[in-house]
Amino acid sequence: MSTTSPDPLQAPARPRLRDWQSRLAALLAEREARPFVWGEHDCGLFVADACVALTGHDPVADLRGRYRSAAGAARLLKPLGGVPGLARQRFGAEILPSLAQPGDVGLMLAEERPTLMLCLGAQWAGPGEQGLQRVAAALITQAWRCA
């Protein structure tokens, strides 16, 4: 009988904090009207901040403060395989988008650009020009457990 070894590039599973729901609600309230800013409040940092609220672990601590533009983010993410590679390596196990729970991370295309979103239940949210933007679950093509 063979066993499957874990993917060495996948983030280790971490348990959610006891108060993750109130911590996530506080993050959403604080970010609701905050506009998108590269390197401060973009899709990757937003979902990472949500994972910090849920688990206490920052999956992108080493990337923070290292870019301030789309080009800078692209340069930083290229060795990781872009946005999809970042998600595969830094968040939990990949799941079907239909199995995502609040706090999980999803991937969609927004204006032909891979964009990370946060599951809120029936909807997903991510930073936009006027604050958090919500989209239907049907737009999410891949998802990962925030754990």
| pLDDT 10s digits, 100-119 | 999 999 999 998 999 999 99
| pLDDT 10s digits, 77-86 | 999 999 999 9
What's the predicted TM-score (pTM) here? Answer: 0.90
Taking the C-alpha atoms of residue 2 and residue 105, their distance in angstroms, rounded to an integer, is 31
Taking the C-alpha atoms of residue 35 and residue 130, their distance in angstroms, rounded to an integer, is 5
Mean pLDDT for each consecutive 10-residue tract of the chain (147 residues)? 48 86 98 98 98 97 97 97 96 95 97 96 96 97 93
